[in-house]
């Protein structure tokens, strides 16, 4: 499986935007970029995914570099409830059903 | 609440005992996954089912571990002769698949082996 690299931790002030980076220089053409987050004492939760174009949903935006070797998860206005570990995961569209988690980025929100 | 439930939420057992965990996925989901998570690490894949068929098993799933999904609905994960190294959070997830493969996770079962 292609590997992703994320910072171990980040801090952000409440009500400000947060940009969580992910490097994936060995991404293949069929790999989708998925983001999940894990709030304290809960199972992971799907956030967003994309292939080439930038994506938006009610939770976040995903900005994908033109060469697809990196991506950024954007939380437009962080709240205390966004404090979690965020995982960037590469997953082929077919043929590999499991999610391969790294250690993710622990996001702390400062009130 | 994602709609995936796991029972029990916590289990404390003594080394050498057998334990069984249950996962009830979202009802229309035909794919079910088991993961294990130790402290400070991301979840690690153990196995997955499509309907009642177990299609992939990780090398992490030793002979002491067995998973079943007898009618393609709920699943059980059994650990025989537990060891202290089995202490972890066991997570279950389900998905509709294959074109919509977002995985929905349950809250997990925390196992402590004394």
Tokens 């590469």 locate to A90
Contact B43 A44 (CB under 8 A): yes
* Inter-chain residue contact B42 with A49, CB threshold 8 Å: no
Mean pLDDT of B3-15: 97
pLDDT at A4: 95
Query: CB of B79 within 8 A of CB of B65?
Result: yes
A99 and B CB contact within 8 Å: yes
DSSP A8-38: SEEEEETTS-EEEEEE-TT--TTEEEEEEEE
Give mean pLDDT, residues B7-12: 97
pLDDT for A50: 93
> Can you read off the two tokens belonging to residue A77?
């206005």
Q: Taking CB atoms and an 8 Å limit, are A43 and B91 in contact across chains?
A: yes
Question: Is pLDDT at B72 greater than 80 in this prediction?
Answer: yes
Q: B71 or A83: whose pLDDT is higher?
A: A83
User: At residue B28, does pLDDT exceed 70?
Assistant: yes
Helix (H, G, I), strand (E, B) or coil at A103: coil
Contacts of A49 in chain B (CB under 8 A): 102
Instruction: List pLDDT tens digits, range B38-65.
Output: 999 999 999 999 999 999 999 888 899 9
B102–A49 C-beta distance less than 8 A: yes
Q: Is A44 on the interface with B (CB under 8 A)?
A: yes
Partners of residue B98 in chain A, C-beta under 8 Å: 94
pLDDT bin (cut points 50, 70, 90) of residue B87 is very high
Please, are residues A72 and A20 in contact by the beta-carbon 8 Å criterion? Answer: yes
| pLDDT for the residue A96 | 64
B65 touches chain A (CB under 8 A): no
Q: What percent of chain B has pLDDT over 90?
A: 83
Chain A with chain B: Cβ pairs closer than 8 A: 55
Which position has the higher pLDDT, A94 or B93? Answer: B93
**Most confident option among A1-10, A12-21, B52-61:** A12-21
A42/A47 Cα distance (integer angstroms):
14
From A10-19, A93-102, B4-13, the region with the lowest mean pLDDT: A93-102
Is a pLDDT exceeding 90 seen at residue A109? Answer: yes
* pLDDT for the residue numbered B2: 74
Beta bridge partners of B54: B49
pLDDT tens string A29-88: 889 999 999 999 899 999 999 999 999 999 999 999 999 999 999 999 999 999 999 999
Of the candidates B40, B48, B106, the beta carbon closest to that of A43 is on B106
Q: Which residue has the higher pLDDT, A1 or B43?
A: B43
CA distance B10 to chain A (A): 12
């Amino acid at each position: 499986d292609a590997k992703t690299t994320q910072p171990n931790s980040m801090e952000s002030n409440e009500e400000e935007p947060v940009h969580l980076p992910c490097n994936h220089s060995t991404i293949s053409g069929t790999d989708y970029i998925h983001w999940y987050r894990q709030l304290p004492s809960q199972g992971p939760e799907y956030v967003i995914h994309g292939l080439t174009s930038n994506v938006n949903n009610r939770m976040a935006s995903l900005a994908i570099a033109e060469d697809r070797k990196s991506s950024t998860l954007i939380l437009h206005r962080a709240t205390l409830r966004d404090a979690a570990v965020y995982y960037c995961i590469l997953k082929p569209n077919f043929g590999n059903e499991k999610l391969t988690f790294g250690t993710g980025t622990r996001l702390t929100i400062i009130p | 609440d994602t709609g995936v439930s796991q029972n029990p939420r916590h289990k404390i057992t003594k080394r050498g005992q057998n334990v069984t965990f249950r996962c009830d996925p979202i009802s229309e989901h035909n794919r079910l996954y088991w993961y294990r998570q130790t402290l400070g690490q991301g979840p690690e894949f153990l196995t997955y089912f499509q309907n009642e068929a177990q299609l992939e098993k990780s090398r992490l799933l030793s002979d002491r571990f067995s998973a079943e999904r007898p009618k393609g609905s709920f699943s059980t994960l059994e650990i025989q002769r537990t060891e202290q190294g089995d202490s972890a959070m066991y997570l279950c997830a389900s998905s509709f698949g294959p074109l919509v493969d977002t995985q929905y996770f349950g809250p997990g079962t925390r196992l402590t082996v004394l």
